[in-house]
C-alpha cells in the first residue's frame, strides 16, 4: 500500500521512473531468494544389446571424463526403460549384469561415481506417477521417439507412451542440475525441464531446471555397412558395428568388410567418401591424431592396407576392455555388491527429495514408511 501511495503521488514522468526503480528492486530481491542447487550430473543407459564403439566414444567416455574431473555424478542402468518393449526376462537379467561389467571395464569407478540399477530405487516410478498427473497426453504424443517406435507396433504399451515422464523422474528425483545427452534426446530433456518448472509453479520451488551437456556430435561414428547412418545397437546387421566384446578376429573381419569406395588413396572427404572418412574418424577418436596426420601416415598405401592398420589400432584399444568385461562377468557377486551399494547411495539422495515432494503435493509424511526394498 505504501508503495502505491508513493508512486501515485508524483507527476506522470516521476511515476514512470519510480515504477521502474521499484521493479528493479523487486527483481533483485527475488533473485536473492532463488534456491541454489548443488551441481549434480545424472545419465542412464539401457541394458539392451551389446555396447559398441559408438556408445563408448559418444557417451561412456564422456561419463568417465566427467567422473575423473571430480564432478558429482550418478549413472543408472535403466532397466525400467528397457521393458517398454518386450524383453526375455532371463536375457534381461543377464544384460543388466553385463552392462554393469561393461561400464566398470570402461572405467566407471564406484568410488568416484554412483552406479546402480534403476528398478532398485522405487522412487523413480513413484515420482513418475506424480509427474504424469501434471503433464498431458497431447504433449507426450508429439515427442519423436514415441512417434518413431509406435510405427512398428500394433499394440502400443502405455509404458512406451509414458517413457519420457519416467525419464524426467530419473533426473528430478536426484535434483540433477545437468544431463549429458545426444541430440536425439534433447526434446525429452526439454520435457524434464518443463515438468520441473510446472511443478515449481504449482507447489513451490522443489527441483532445479536440468541443463543439457551436449555430447560432442563430432564423436558420433557411422555404421560400417552404411556410412550415412549412425552406428546402432538395433541394426540387424552385426557387421555394421564394433562391439566391445568382439574378439580380435571378429574386429579385423568387420573392418576388412567395411564399406569404402573404389578410390585407393586414403583421404578425409566425408561428403564424397563417407565410408573412408568414417574409418579415419574412428582412428582419430581412438588415437587423438588429427585427420591430416592420419592421412599423411597412410600416404602411399591403399584403403585395403589402411583397414589393416586401423584394425590393429582398434584391437589394441578394445581388447583390454573385452578381457576386463569377461573377468567381471565371471564375478557376479562383485557386480551385485557394486549395484547394491550404488542403490543405497542413490536412495540416500532420492528419499529426502521425495519426502519434500510428498509434503508439497499434500501426501502426509506423519507416518514413516519403508522405501528401500533390499
pLDDT score for 302: 96
d(CA 7, CA 97): 67
d(CA 81, CA 46): 7
The answer to whether residue 151 is catalytic is no
Closest by CA to 56, choosing from 316, 317, 255, 268, is 317
Tell me which of 94, 112, 219, 230 is the catalytic residue.
230
Q: What is the mean pLDDT of residues 78-103?
A: 95
Tell me the C-alpha to C-alpha distance, in Å, between residue 49 and each of 28, 102, 281. Answer: 51, 12, 24
- Which of 91-100, 111-120, 137-146, 237-246 has the least mean pLDDT? 137-146
In this structure, are residues 254 and 52 in contact, taking their beta carbons and an 8 Å threshold? Answer: no
H-assigned helices in the chain: 2-9, 12-32, 53-55, 61-68, 79-82, 89-106, 123-132, 137-141, 144-150, 158-172, 186-203, 248-256, 274-287, 291-297, 303-329, 332-361
- Between 295 and 149, name the one with better pLDDT: 295
Which H helix or E strand runs over 114? Answer: strand 113-117
In this structure, are residues 158 and 148 in contact, taking their beta carbons and an 8 Å threshold? Answer: no
pLDDT score for 141: 84
Summary mean pLDDT of the chain: 89
pLDDT score for 7: 43
Residue pLDDT, tens place only, 201-227: 999 999 999 999 987 766 789 999 999
Q: Is the pLDDT of residue 8 over 60?
A: no
Tell me the C-alpha to C-alpha distance, in Å, between residue 292 and each of 128, 266, 277, 299, 317. Answer: 49, 10, 11, 11, 21
pLDDT score for 211: 96
Q: What is the mean pLDDT of residues 128-137?
A: 96
Closest by CA to 244, choosing from 113, 97, 63, 57, is 57
- Between 187 and 334, name the one with better pLDDT: 334
pLDDT score for 31: 43
SS3 255: helix
Residue pLDDT, tens place only, 224-263: 999 999 999 989 999 999 999 999 999 999 999 999 999 9
pTM to 2 decimals? Answer: 0.86
List of residues 6+ apart from 180 with CB closer than 8 A: 41, 43, 59, 62, 63, 66, 212, 213, 214, 215
Tell me which of 149, 324, 345, 360 is the catalytic residue.
149
Tell me the C-alpha to C-alpha distance, in Å, between residue 63 and each of 4, 80, 139, 197, 283. Answer: 54, 21, 30, 27, 21
In this structure, are residues 118 and 85 in contact, taking their beta carbons and an 8 Å threshold? Answer: no
The answer to whether residue 149 is catalytic is yes
Report the length, in residues, of the chain: 374
Residue pLDDT, tens place only, 11-61: 545 454 444 444 544 444 444 346 889 999 999 999 998 999 999 999 999
Q: Is the pLDDT of residue 73 over 80?
A: yes
Q: What are the residues facing 178 on neighbouring strands?
A: 41, 211
The answer to whether residue 317 is catalytic is no
Percent of the chain with pLDDT over 90: 74
pLDDT score for 30: 42
Residue pLDDT, tens place only, 157-169: 888 889 999 999 9
Closest by CA to 276, choosing from 295, 252, 250, is 295
Tell me which of 233, 239, 289, 345 is the catalytic residue.
233
- Which of 89-93, 217-221, 241-245, 278-282 has the least mean pLDDT? 217-221
Amino acid at each position: 500500500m505504501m508503495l502505491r501511495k508513493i508512486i501515485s503521488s508524483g507527476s506522470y514522468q516521476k511515476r514512470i521512473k519510480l515504477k521502474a526503480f521499484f521493479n528493479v528492486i523487486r527483481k533483485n530481491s527475488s533473485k536473492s531468494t532463488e534456491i541454489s542447487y548443488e551441481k549434480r550430473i545424472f545419465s542412464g543407459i539401457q541394458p539392451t544389446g551389446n555396447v559398441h564403439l559408438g556408445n563408448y566414444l559418444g557417451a561412456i567416455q564422456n561419463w568417465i571424463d566427467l567422473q575423473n574431473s571430480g564432478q558429482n555424478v550418478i549413472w543408472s542402468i535403466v532397466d525400467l526403460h528397457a521393458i517398454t518393449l518386450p524383453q526375455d526376462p532371463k536375457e534381461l537379467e543377464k544384460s543388466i549384469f553385463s552392462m554393469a561389467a561393461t561400464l566398470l571395464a570402461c572405467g566407471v569407478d564406484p568410488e568416484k561415481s554412483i552406479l546402480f540399477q534403476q528398478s532398485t530405487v522405487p522412487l523413480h516410478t513413484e515420482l513418475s506417477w506424480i509427474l504424469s498427473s501434471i503433464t498431458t497426453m497431447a504433449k507426450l504424443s508429439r515427442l519423436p521417439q514415441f512417434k518413431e517406435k509406435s510405427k512398428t507396433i500394433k499394440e502400443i504399451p502405455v509404458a512406451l507412451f509414458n517413457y519420457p515422464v519416467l525419464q524426467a523422474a530419473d533426473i528430478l528425483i536426484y535434483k540433477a542440475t545437468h544431463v549429458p545427452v545426444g541430440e536425439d534426446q534433447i526434446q525429452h530433456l526439454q520435457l524434464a525441464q518443463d515438468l520441473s518448472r510446472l511443478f515449481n509453479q504449482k507447489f513451490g520451488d522443489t527441483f532445479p531446471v536440468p541443463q543439457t551437456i551436449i555430447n560432442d556430435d563430432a564423436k558420433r561414428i557411422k555404421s560400417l555397412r552404411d556410412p550415412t547412418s549412425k552406428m546402432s545397437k538395433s541394426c540387424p546387421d552385426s557387421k555394421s558395428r564394433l562391439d566391445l566384446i568382439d574378439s580380435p578376429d571378429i574386429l579385423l573381419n568387420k573392418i576388412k568388410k567395411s564399406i569404402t569406395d573404389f578410390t585407393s588413396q586414403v583421404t578425409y572427404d566425408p561428403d564424397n567418401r563417407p565410408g573412408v572418412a568414417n574409418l579415419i574418424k574412428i582412428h582419430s577418436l581412438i588415437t587423438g591424431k588429427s585427420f591430416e596426420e592420419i592421412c599423411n601416415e597412410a600416404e602411399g598405401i591403399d584403403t585395403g592396407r589402411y583397414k589393416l592398420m586401423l584394425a590393429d589400432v582398434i584391437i589394441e584399444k578394445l581388447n583390454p576392455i573385452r578381457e576386463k568385461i569377461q573377468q567381471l562377468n565371471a564375478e557376479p557377486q562383485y557386480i551385485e555388491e557394486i549395484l547394491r551399494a550404488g542403490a543405497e547411495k542413490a536412495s540416500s539422495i532420492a528419499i529426502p527429495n521425495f519426502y519434500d515432494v510428498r509434503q508439497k503435493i499434500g501426501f502426509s509424511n506423519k507416518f514413516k514408511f519403508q522405501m528401500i526394498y533390499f
